[in-house]
Each structure stands twice: as C-alpha cells, then as structure tokens.
Amino acid sequence: MLKSLKTYQLLFLRLILILAGIEFSIYLHKINFVFAPIFGFLIVFLLIIELYNYVKSIILLYDKTISSIIQNDFSSDFSKHKSKENDLFQLYDILKNKQNEQVSKDIIYTSILNNIETGIIILQKQEKDWNVFLMNDYFSTHFNVPKFSKWKYLKSHLPSLCDIIEKDDFQEIKTSIEISINQQNSQTFVLQASRTEIFKNDYFIVLLDSIQNVVEKKEKDAWINLMKVISHELLNSITPIRSICQNLQDLVEQDSLSSEDLEDIKNSVETMLRRSDHLQKFVEGYRKLAMLPSPKKQKIELKDLVNNSLDIMESMFKKENIEIVNSISRHYFITVDAQQIEQVLINLLTNSINALKKTNQKQIFISAEAKENRTFIKIADNGIGIEKEIENKIFLPFFTTRNEGAGIGLTLSKNIIEAHGGYINYKNENEKTVFEICLIEN
C-alpha cells in the first residue's frame, strides 16, 4: 500500500515515543520508583491505542479509495488527503477526471443518436443471448417500441425485423424491409446491420431508414447541386451581357459616334453573341440530359462496338500519340442500344485523352469480363487521374475542370448506362484511372 513521506514520518515518531516511554518506565522501576512506572506504562498504553487508531484510519482511507476505484465510484472527495508524494490519490483523481470526461461524451453521443432521424438499435451478446444495449428515441417513437433490454421482448413487437436478423444469424445485412407500424399499412425501410467486437464484447448494430426519407434527401441534394450549376452558368452569361448593354445604351445616346465608338459597338455585339452561344449550348446540354430517349436494345457483339468507337476516335489517338491496348479477344454478346453505348465509350475515351495531355508515355487500356449475367467493361488510362477532392462530383451535371468542357459527358454516360439497368463507377487501380461499366443481362 502506498503511503506519503509525511505518513511514514508520523508513524515513525509514534513508534519512537512508545519505545522511549517503555524504556523510561523500566528505568523508573529499576530505581525503585513505585507510582511513576505505572503512570509511564499508562501513557505507553494510550500511545499504543492512538497508534492503532492512526494506522486503522490510514488503512480505512486507502481501502475506501481502492474500493471506489474498483467499483468505478468517484463520488467521494479525497482532495484534503491529496499530496504530490501520494500516487494513490493522484490515480484516483486521474480516473475520476477520465470518468467525468467519458460520462460527458456518453451524454453528447446519446443526445446526437437521439436527434438522428434514423432508427438505431445496438445489441450486445451476453453468453448465448442477445440483449438491447442501446435504442435511440427515433427507433422507440417511430416503431412504437418501449426501450426493452431483452431481445425476446423486442421480437414480440417487431417480428418482421427480428426474423430477418435471426435468419442471417446476426451477420452483416443490407436490404429493404417492410414493417407495419401500429397495425397500419406497411412502410418500406432500408435495413443496414453490421457486427463488431470491442474488448471481447460482441455488438450488433442495426440502422433503419425510411425509403421515403432516403429518396427525398437524394432528390433535395440533386436539386440543390443542379440549381447551383444553373444559376452559376446563367449569371456568368447574363452579367456580362447586361454590362455590355448598359455600355451600348450610353454609346447610342451620344449625338455622334466616332470610329472608336463603332469599334466598341462591334466588339460588344461579338461578345454578346459568344455569351449567347455559350448559354445556348448549356441549355441544349441540359435538354440532352433531360430528354434522353429510352434505349432501343438489340443483341450485338461487344468487340465490334468497341472497334467502331476506336475507329471514330483514331485520328485523335494519332494526333496525341496515344497507344491503345485493347485486350478484348473473346466474343461477348450484349443486348444494348448500340448508338447510346457507343456514345458512352466515345465520352470515356475523350475523357482519357484529356487526362493524358501532360503524360509522356500515353496509354489507354480497354478490357472486358463476363461474370454470371453481368458484363464488365473497363476503360483505363495512365494519365494524371482525378483529384481526391472532386471524385464525388465528376458525375454531376455540368461539372467540369476544363475551360472548353461542357460538363455533360460523364453525366450523360451515367444516365445512359442506368437506363440500360446497369451502372458506371470510377476507381484507381494499379496507378491507373479506371472507369468501369457494368451491364446486366436480363
């Protein structure tokens, strides 16, 4: 048990006094004093009792401190006993501060979870059974479920949810589920669940989000992004046109026009025409995205489709000195709108050409692979790649990093592939920029 230096000194002093008292009493007895030795032994007895109480108080104090630490109870105040030499009370204060910090974090995290409009429930495995470790307010209120601590009670209220979790043996889940609330019509939710182990404790985290909420959020985000782009493009064209018009108005109100004034009028009209043309192209691009026709599908060999696209782009490849590595050798048949998919391939190849502008050894790699009922087409290049900060924006309408770009190529490609029931994504692979198309055969 740890003791401070002062405690040792006091204890040692008491022992010295007791020993001195015993020696002095024996000495008085030897020189034939009668009552003085008795009085001396009485004082020694009182000192022994005082020593016992002193040691007992120290032991009780340390025992209480250690017990508080073990039981995680930091309600006691040992500040008057604290000293720089006593590590035990310093340890108590450190653990107390950490406990207060952890409690504060728990309150904040719980408050955050309770204010999220997503149903959250965390289960903890105890021996062979699962118990509810945490249930946020949204889950309890939205599904009209009391904050149970037992899995069996939760199952009695939400059998449709619990049956799916048990069926997958409390493993990772990502699916949609229909849940009836208060015996009303069923609502569809996105169910995401994951399992994790923390300090040998097994936890199962369940998230439930309304499909309607997910769709509304994505629609809202899409509209906000679109309106930002549209307002930016409109202001970029309207602002200079308005400024030029004001300048022209000042010029025509003059009594006479000089040759310099006429030159200014000519330049102003040319500038307005350029900005008008840019605005017209922007509107046409938007119309092209908004009015994409439904694909007219027919069975075609992928190799022929790729070769047609490469033939169209051949002059640009030669001009930029780009090597094409086409590794599609097998016969893959896909059911697609040939013109639309050809447009996608041309858009992606154009994207690669622009990415290779500042590269010395320019290469574009084309490959394909079939898995089950899916065909994967990869177009990769060894160009400068896409910056991390803009990776999530490249498929947004009218987003471009090139001054001469319209910003609809990748968006149009994405829309065409999705109209075919597939998807397109971007990734980095072996130091190459890769766009992967997935087409699903029905």
* Residue 263 belongs to domain with CATH number: 1.10.287
Shared-domain flag, residues 425 and 346:
yes
Are residues 364 and 418 located together in one domain of the fold? yes
More confident of the two residues 407 and 348: 348
pLDDT at 366: 93
Instruction: Please check whether residue 150 is in contact with residue 131, taking contact to mean a CB–CB distance below 8 angstroms.
Output: yes
Residues 10 and 65 grouped into a single domain: yes
Residues 259, 128 share a domain:
no
Which residue, of 96, 115, 134, is where some domain finishes?
A: 115
Instruction: Assess whether pLDDT exceeds 60 at residue 82.
Output: no
> Are 325 and 423 part of one and the same domain?
yes
pLDDT digits (tens, 9 = 90+) for 46-78: 878 877 777 777 777 777 777 776 777 666 666
**In this structure, are 156 and 58 located in the same domain?**
no
Same domain, 244 and 201: no
Q: Are residues 176 and 273 in the same domain?
A: no
Domain end, chosen from 115, 138, 154, is at 115
Instruction: Select the more confidently predicted residue: 288 or 310.
Output: 310
Q: How many domains does the chain have?
A: 4
- For the cut 60, the answer to whether the pLDDT of residue 227 exceeds it is yes
Quote the domain boundaries for residue 246.
214-290
Average pLDDT, the chain: 77
H-type alpha helices, 71-184: 87-114, 137-142, 151-157, 159-167
pLDDT of residue 26: 75
Domain at 405, CATH number: 3.30.565.10
Euclidean distance between CA atoms 408 and 331, whole angstroms = 31
Query: Among residues 299, 432, 426, 436, which one has the least CA distance to residue 377?
Result: 436
Give the mean model confidence (pLDDT) for residues 32-45.
72
Is the pLDDT at 230 greater than 70? The verdict is no
pLDDT exceeds cutoff 80 at 388? no
Asked if 322 and 347 sit in the same domain, the reply is yes
The H or E element spanning position 207 is strand 201-210
**Among candidate residues 159, 194, 211, the one where a domain is terminated:** 211
| Residues 298, 340: Cα–Cα separation, whole Å | 12
Please state, for a pLDDT cut of 90, what percent of the chain lies above it: 5
Contact 37, 29 (CB under 8 A): yes
Q: Residue 36's Cα: distance from chain center in Å?
A: 85
Of the pLDDT bands very low, low, confident and very high (cuts 50, 70, 90), residue 378 is very high
> Do residues 266 and 312 share a domain?
no
**CATH of residue 189:** 3.30.450.20
Same domain, 383 and 309: yes
Asked whether residue 275 falls in the same domain as residue 329, the answer is: no
